[in-house]
Structure 1
Amino acid sequence: MYQCSYCGKKGCRSYDDEATMPVCAGKNEAVHAEARRLYQKEENQKIARAAGQVEVRGYGRWTRLEEVMQFCRLCGYEHIGLVFCTGLSQEAKTVTEILTYNGFSVDSALCKAGSLPKSLIGLEAEDTHTHCVDEVMCNPIGQALLMNELQVDFTLILGLCVGHDTLVMKYLESPMSVLAVKDRVTGHNPLASIYTARSYYRSRYFPED
């Protein structure tokens, strides 16, 4: 069992094999030998190198979207796919305008594309907002297949629900990244509740504590 989240030493940051937990993820030599091998693949080298360059060049200065654009330029990605939640339609339009203005070609697909009914996946009426099994479901598999058909260079995910993001990532064939995740309570900033997990959100995350 690996428990890096509990490690206060983090010797892996400085090549210090002694400053580790008794069972350390960094000491799995077979895994990291395989990782080294995979980093030698041309596509992986390109992505990892670009990620490292963006991290250093824009550290504390570039926004997430600026980092995305710089990363795509370094990787040579010109055709961007944008898959988004219908609840963030205005944000998706703004993102498209920004990317287009900065020289990228953008194709987008919202989550309701295809108008598939929730009965397709076996949901009961009580598990729909309108109490009707014909309510239009989110279609992340369709979003992914649309981007695959267009052969986009890179896909940006914006505000998909938990689980829907899982499926879109499962079926996308292009490299991808997340611009924002869905959190209806915190204005799509899930870390807000993590920062206050031991105070304001304590009763919700640790109800028996």
Structure 2
Amino acid sequence: MSDNCLTCTDCAVTNCASKDKEYPEFCLTTSLSDIELDAVVDLYINNPENKKIAQAAAEVEGEFYCTITRVQEIIEFAKKIGAKKIGIATCVGLINESRIFSKILKKNGFKVYGVACKVGAVEKKKINIGDEYIKKTGESMCNPIMQAKLLDKAQTDLNVVVGLCVGHDSLFYKYTNILTTTLITKDRVLGHNPAVALYTSNSYYKKLLE
């Protein structure tokens, strides 16, 4: 496959969702063999965990479309999959938001286990981070791998990421063995709404396309 091939982000049709138009010549849907597609569909039908998750996600979307917030969607999804204990992997910079979220979850009958990103209080120098990237003496590193391990140890049923840094969130997703969703995606400049940079790409953030 060529590195310059056209993919879904080059498509202006999205007939895969509407099925009322013509697929473009480069469409990934039409390039799939029946064997490839059936093998993946089988994972939704015959894998009990996948089936439960996919059905719960579709039911939340269908039942509450454009009527409830993501906080509420997480609650409804957790109920549908039978989750009892919810883990929160939080940035210390959003600990207040996580406290509020924890209170809401508890009010809705869930047990909550929260782990902050600085857990272990390991200095950044311990993993050879340069002085130019350290803001204060003794500054602790973010520790998403430990967050994942502690939430695994706590045997949570569903984990929720709250504002982990770019890359730190990647390590958390890599090392957790628990089903995980995201409540807040960190963007310090845009009030944790990174989509703003996309919505304003023809005005304030035009520089991103230059």
Q: Distance in 1 between matches of 2:173 and 2:17?
A: 29
Partner deviation per Cα, 1:50-100 (whole Å, 9 max, x = no partner): 001000111111100100000010100110000100001111100000000
User: Is the CA contact (8 Å cut-off) linking 1:100 and 1:106 kept in structure 2?
Assistant: yes
Q: Distance in 2 between matches of 1:13 and 1:124?
A: 47
> Could you tell me which amino acid in structure 2 is paired with residue 13 of structure 1?
A
Of 121, 146, 150 in structure 2, the residue corresponding to residue 146 of structure 1 is 150
1:150/1:196 CA distance change after superposition, 3 Å: same
User: Do structure 1's residue 35 and structure 2's residue 40 form an aligned pair?
Assistant: yes
Partner deviation per Cα, 1:89-145 (whole Å, 9 max, x = no partner): 111100000000110000000000001121232211011112x5x421000000000
Partner residue, 1:158: 162
Q: How much has 1:23 moved relative to structure 2?
A: 1.8
Q: Distance in 2 between matches of 1:23 and 1:90?
A: 47
Q: Distance in 1 between matches of 2:13 and 2:209?
A: 26
Partner residue, 1:25: 28
User: Do structure 1's residue 53 and structure 2's residue 20 form an aligned pair?
Assistant: no
Q: Distance in 1 between matches of 2:36 and 2:186?
A: 32
> Could you tell me which amino acid in structure 2 is paired with residue 146 of structure 1?
L
Q: Distance in 2 between matches of 1:50 and 1:13?
A: 19
Partner residue, 1:121: 127
Q: State the Cα RMSD in Å.
A: 1.4
User: Is the CA contact (8 Å cut-off) linking 1:116 and 1:136 kept in structure 2?
Assistant: yes
Q: How much has 1:2 moved relative to structure 2?
A: 4.7
TM-score (norm 1): 0.92
Q: Distance in 1 between matches of 2:134 and 2:184?
A: 24
User: Which runs of 5 or more structure 2 residues have no equivalent in the other structure?
Assistant: none
Q: Secondary structure at the match of 2:182?
A: strand
Q: Distance in 2 between matches of 1:107 and 1:144?
A: 12
Partner residue, 1:206: 209
Partner residue, 2:82: 76
Consecutive aligned runs of 4 or more in structure 1 exceeding 4 Å deviation = none
- Equivalent residue pairs, number: 203
Of 5, 8, 17 in structure 1, the residue corresponding to residue 9 of structure 2 is 5
Q: Distance in 2 between matches of 1:194 and 1:57?
A: 28
